[in-house]
Amino acid sequence: MGPPGRGARISDGDYEKQREINSHAPQVAGLGRRIAALFHPYRARLTVLVTLVLVSATLGILPPLITQRVFDDGLFPASGTPNLPVLLWLVVAMLVTFALAQLIGIVQTRLTAQVGNRVMGDLRVRLFSHLQSMELGFFTRTKTGVIQSRLQNDVGGVANVLSNTVSSVVGNTVTVIAAFVAMLMLSWQLTVVAVVLLPVLVIGQRKVGQVRARIAGETQESLSEMTAITEEALSVSGVLLAKTYSRQSSEVARYADENRHQIDLQVRQAMSGQVFFGIVQLMMSAVPALIYLIAGWIITDQLGQGQTATITAGTIVAFTTVQSRLLFPMMALMRVALDLQTSRALFARIFEYLDLKPAIQDAPDAHQPDDAPGLAGDVRFEHVSFSYPDASPGSRPTLDDLTFHVKPGEFVAFVGASGSGKTTIGNLVSRLYDASAGTVRYAGDDVRDLQQEALMQRIGVVTQEPYLFHASIADNLRYAKPDATDAELVDAARQANIHETIAGFEHGYDTIVGERGYRLSGGEKQRIAIARVLLKNPRLLVLDEATSALDTVNERAVQHALDEARSDRTTIAIAHRLSTIEGADRIHVLSAGRIIEQGTHAELLAAGGAYAELYAQQG
């Protein structure tokens, strides 16, 4: 199911090409700096967190040093008899150290969770807000599921990095440094044995990280595709289409194929680096045995030369304890490094969307439209031409040198065959797209000089397929005016000729309409959409084939509602059924993006041209 869109459709080949492009992590400038900037609003909490981590890491090194004193000064002192008072104080010191470390760990965990999740939440809202600012054309070119995947899978994929990186990097780095210093204090000879292989491990970690980053990019692309399939195939429209064409099995097969691909990627990602970490653990676990061997060799050598052994039993126990404490921080740092390398692919995908520039933006000096009488609702097209951004090179423009004027309070209609450019006129008036050439004016101003939000507040649109949320009728109506009273809802519904129908429902205005309003008939949905636009009370009403899909009974009900909606405001009607615009002040007939006829219904019929032919065909 390819995504719908006007202008040239994107071919399956184009989608595959785009998927191939997306499968590789995009290059985003200053990625590390931009990731760090995400934490800037929480620098006070981060300062406290780093301080706690430093204290906790320092406390973690004390027990091995205390252990050395327990063996050498408490259990096996030079006197040969255990020194119980010293042993008692050392044990108390060790227990206090453990208790403080646990208490600090609890506070540290809370701060880590707060900072990480808030940064992730900020990033998700920032991305959602940015996507809201993108032009309509972006959404006609991009699958909804792909957009959802960026918000959910990509942002969710970096959650662990955002939550744990700071504390893990700082804590484990301090632990490693402190452990290394402690090991040097205990025995520099044994320290050399313990760390000689670290450079080899760092090089191996970088190689593994590169592989995992590539797999992560492929995994997120596969998740995007699965989300897109789910969005298309399990929507009400998708299920209906699959059932009516008996394509459920092919949809299941399409999802299953991508699911198998996703499973393969997940397994590859889980296994990448396992051999490396297995070797690391084996090497680090073998170090204590080597330490015992080297220590025995050093002690034997020193005693053989008549010297006093510098390595005691306490030193060996403390050293192996510190070395074992070095193992886990080292492993943790390597895993964090791998996570960071992996997450770069996800961050790059997120920042790639954040770096998209909306094709339609407010000018620096943009202002609000003039609401003065005689200007509000005034629309002019001055030599306007337009081609959709994804149109094929060399194809004819959708609108070609179009000029017309709709005065405030007028009812003007546009008719013509499919593809003649009717809907595009409404899109340009509301600045969902910008004209390729010429000028579109509202209230005397070029729409590019007006604030987009302020312009849209003055324009109401009713389309052939109105969108209703899976919510109550009241909630759908209040989308136009969140603070509307119940009386205002009823008044708008009465004007739209739908109040009696709503009142007849078991739950009245609290009736849940279902996904995209599928629990309502076409006429009911259309009239609720009209009630919603009446609640908005716009100065300009754009009716985009608002009755073309309705039966005769519903068309009459909706037409009555439209007649009410048109009073005291400018109306531009894009019509398929000519019977709905017979009362228009002026009708423009479009063909290939040009106006070929204009006049009243009676004048155009008398002229016997294209309009008369269309009217005869529908008669």
Q: What is the DSSP string of 484-553?
A: --HHHHHHHHHHTT-HHHHHHSTTGGG-B--GGGTTS-HHHHHHHHHHHHHHH--SEEEEESTTTTS-HH
Buried b (16+ CB within 10 A) or exposed e, 70-107: bbbbbbbeeeeeebeeebeebeeebeebeeebeebbee
pLDDT band at 247 (very low <50, low <70, confident <90, very high): confident
Measure the CA–CA gap between 505 and 93, rounded to whole angstroms. Answer: 74
Domain closes at, from 354, 379, 407: 354
What distance lies between CA 345 and its chain's CA centroid?
A: 15
Closest CA to 125 of 145, 149, 155, 153: 155
pLDDT, tens digit (0-9, with 9 covering 90-100), for 202-237: 666 666 666 776 777 777 777 777 777 777 776 666
Residue 612 confidence (pLDDT): 92
Q: Which of these ranges, 281-290, 374-383, 510-519, has the smallest mean pLDDT?
A: 281-290
319: in domain: yes
Residue 342 maps to which CATH number? 1.20.1560.10
444: in domain: no
pLDDT, tens digit (0-9, with 9 covering 90-100), for 279-333: 666 766 666 777 777 777 777 877 777 776 667 776 777 777 776 666 667 767 7
pLDDT band at 193 (very low <50, low <70, confident <90, very high): low
Residue 477 confidence (pLDDT): 93
Number of domains in the chain: 2
> 580 and 573 in contact (C-beta within 8 Å)?
yes
453: in domain: no
> 528 and 468 in contact (C-beta within 8 Å)?
yes
| pLDDT > 60? residue 14 | no
Residue 482 maps to which CATH number? 3.40.50.300
615: in domain: no
- Domain identity same for 274 and 134: yes
Q: Which domain holds residue 220?
A: 29-354
Q: What is the pTM of this model?
A: 0.70
268: in domain: yes
49: in domain: yes
548: in domain: no
**Pick the residue with more confidence: 491 or 343?**
491
- Domain identity same for 150 and 299: yes
117: in domain: yes
What type of residue is 510? D
Measure the CA–CA gap between 67 and 322, rounded to whole angstroms. Answer: 10
